[in-house]
Structure 1
């Protein structure tokens, strides 16, 4: 798994998460620009998942194969679920769900990178 791609996902997650915190601090609702940021982050996560699947198919297997596959399955689902939750709950603190999802995307990307680093 590409360390550069993991770093890109982590940096994007930090930026979008900080942006969502700013939206909450300013007592605003989620707007289109923040949703575009979440979409860009989701595209980066999908690229990371594609890289992980390609490595599973062509490269050596990680020691924790089932856990690695679980991370690859769950990773692209976190941000859309949080986005739907945020849009369904139109209260002012609802962007905090996006903050948690950005943090989760960052943790999942880094943890998947660590799992793929330990191969048989």
Structure 2
């Protein structure tokens, strides 16, 4: 895992979280730009996860291997589920769904980074 990439994921996820909360407060559903931003965030998350899985395959062992693998799988699955939900149910609460998913991605990514460097 690359620390700069992990911090970038956290920052991008926090922006997505803020955007989701703003749309919910304004009583608007997420727009196309917000959904595209979430998709872009997922691409960055996928890049990070692939890099981490390659490093794991090469023999790197973090402190808690099972937890690390669980987080890597979780962050890859979380955003697409939230995106599908937000895209299919076009209400103000769709922004909240995206915000919660983005907050979880930021928290899980930071925890992954802690596990990775604690080795």
- Same fold by TM (over 0.5)? yes
Instruction: Give the TM-score normalised by structure 1.
Output: 0.91
> Quick check: 1:15 aligned with 2:15?
yes
Aligned-partner SS, 1:63: coil
The corresponding residue for 1:37 is 37
The corresponding residue for 1:87 is 87
Post-superposition shift, 1:59?
Answer: 4.5
Instruction: Give the TM-score normalised by structure 2.
Output: 0.92
The corresponding residue for 2:24 is 24
Matches within 5 A, 1:60-99: 60-99=60-99
**Alpha-carbon separation, structure 2, partners of 1:70 and 1:84:** 21
**Alpha-carbon separation, structure 1, partners of 2:4 and 2:76:** 18
In structure 2, runs of 5+ residues without a counterpart are none
In structure 1, runs of 5+ residues without a counterpart are none
Across the aligned residues of Structure 1 and Structure 2, the Cα RMSD in angstroms comes to: 1.3
Count of residue pairs brought into register by the alignment:
119
Q: Verify the 8 A CA contact 2:71 2:112 in the aligned structure 1.
A: yes
